Structure 1
Amino acid sequence: MVRMLHKMGIRSNLMYTLGVASIGLAFASWATSLKAEPHTGLDRADRWGIFIGEWAPTFFALGVALRIEETHPEPGQESMEETTTHGVPTRAGV
């Protein structure tokens, strides 16, 4: 699955960004639910915050898996990621 995401052009930086955004969204959904539905109380707001808050670890884990895919290509497969050769930045496969 990670290889398929990588081939689709999804990179680790996107997943890290989505992880950070989901933390903010979890807080925003908790606060919004707390204000918009005061009759349901804190329980429903907590459930919304926790539900969205569980997305962050998933995005971060996918980010790590994609970073590994980006930096450690399979043998025989050339990577277009930046590498260093004797301290000089180069493009692998170029």
Structure 2
Amino acid sequence: MLKKLHDMGLRSDHCYAAGFASIALSFGCWLMSKQFEKAEIDRADRWGIFVGEWAPTFIALGNGLQAYEK
């Protein structure tokens, strides 16, 4: 799988950037959901957690690709 991703042009730096962006997006989703929806804090927390779970996946892929690139 890593070879296929690498052949498609995906690099470890892209995955790391996506991981850090998902952390920022998680905070942004939580903040916006908290302010603009009338569904209380529970829904805002679920949105933040949902998006926040993407970060470890992207960082793990980045680690795998970094090992493959060496």
Per the TM superposition, whether the score is higher than 0.5 is yes
Give unmatched runs, 5+ long, in structure 1: 72-94
Aligned amino acid, residue 68 of structure 2: E
**2:54 counterpart residue number:** 55
State percent identity of aligned pairs. Answer: 54
C-alpha deviation, 1:33, in angstroms: 0.2
C-alpha deviation, 1:2, in angstroms: 1.1
| TM-score where L is the length of structure 1 | 0.73
CA RMSD of aligned residues (A): 0.5
In our comparison, the structure showing a higher alpha carbon Rg is: 1
C-alpha deviation, 1:66, in angstroms: 0.3
Higher fraction of strand: 1
- The size of the alignment, in residue pairs, is 70
**2:63 counterpart residue number:** 64
Q: Which has the higher contact order (CA 8 A, sep 6+)?
A: 2
**1:75 counterpart residue number:** none
**1:41 counterpart residue number:** 40
Tell me the SS of whatever aligns to 2:29: helix
**1:87 counterpart residue number:** none
Poorly superposed stretches of 4+, deviation over 2 Å: none
**1:80 counterpart residue number:** none
| TM-score where L is the length of structure 2 | 0.97
The Cα offsets for residues 10-68 of structure 1, whole Å up to 9 and x where unpaired, read as: 1000000000000000000000000011x210000000000000000000000000001
Higher fraction of helix: 2
In structure 1, C-alpha distance between the alignment counterparts of 2:13 and 2:20, rounded to whole Å? 11
